[in-house]
Amino acid sequence: MNSTSSPQAIPVSSNKNNIYSSKWLWFGIPITLLVGLASILIYNYYALFSVEKLVLGINQDFFIFLGIGVFAQLVDGTLGMGYGATSTSFLMSVGVPPAISSTGVHVAEMFTTGASAVSHYKFKNINKKLVTYLLIPGVIGSIIGAYLLADVIDGKVIKPFIAVYMIVLAVMIIIKGLRNNNVKKKTKNLGILAIFGGFMDAVGGGGWGPIVTSTLIGRGRDPRYTIGSVNAAEFAVSFASGITFLLFQGINGWQVIAGLIFGGVFAAPFAAFFVNKVPRKTMTIVVGILIIALSLKTLIPIILGLLK
């Protein structure tokens, strides 16, 4: 009955495990890309990051942006979603213009998602095969979305539709979280899901986590490994869209960018640690409630505007 394994299958599995377990893949590549990006930013925008600017320019606003970065990363790293929506809403509430807010969030995410990916790998929160299935399609979707947003469409037009979709998913997730027999179902079309998530993340200023994480958890996947894997893949997605935005929009608002980066990188290991400690049912319900809250935040102003 148990003689299904063959001698030929063992070395193949071993090879795959070696690839997925490579420290260069999970540590070397993110760190190399981040160091390279930081070097390019400092070289091309040295006036923004000069010692004089940093010392004389650091004020109360910088520490506000730092706090926003910490909180947004704790939300995103722990629940697998919400960085863009959380940080953007806070930045807008303290008077940061939309253009600077959007650029700052996307550039900061390139660093925070890298730190998050390394942290989740360190705490063993990652399903490595799931990451590989999501990564390339997600990158393709994010590049297409960032390009279209820069030249063709307005992301605000699509946001209400994705908000309704996320509310439906959130209700399903909360129902599954309240049940004890949350059976895992096979998730089909992961590539399509990743392309859609990457596209909406770039176009709508957020959506990778709510779309991909909530769909996978809604299909019964373990929240801990889903959140860790989706966060790891998000590094590549954010990097692709961030580079695209930099090419089209450049950099404005160095304090916003610096505050979000330092705050997010600092909070990433703590968020990855909390994923390993929060009970599955509690985490699933919290994820569902968060999706509803973020979606209603998008929908309510639109509905009120239509009623006027």
The pLDDT of residue 3: 43
| Residue 33 belongs to a domain | no
The pLDDT of residue 194: 95
Q: What is the CA radius of gyration of the chain?
A: 20
Q: How far apart are the C-alpha atoms of 122 and 8, rounded to whole Å?
A: 31
What sections of 179-222 are H helices per DSSP? 190-204, 208, 214-218
Domain containing residue 83: 58-307
The pLDDT of residue 11: 41
The pLDDT of residue 8: 39
| Residue 137 belongs to a domain | yes
If the chain, 308 residues long, is cut into consecutive pieces of 10 residues, what is the mean pLDDT of each piece? Answer: 40 45 64 74 56 58 90 82 80 78 81 83 86 93 84 69 78 74 69 92 78 85 88 88 78 79 87 75 79 80 80
| Residue 213 belongs to a domain | yes
The pLDDT of residue 43: 63
Residue 115 contacts residue 272 (beta carbons within 8 Å): no
Q: What are the structure tokens assigned to 238, written together?
A: 């954010």
| Residue 21 belongs to a domain | no
Domain count, the chain: 1
3-state secondary structure at position 49? helix
| Residue 37 belongs to a domain | no
| Residue 135 belongs to a domain | yes
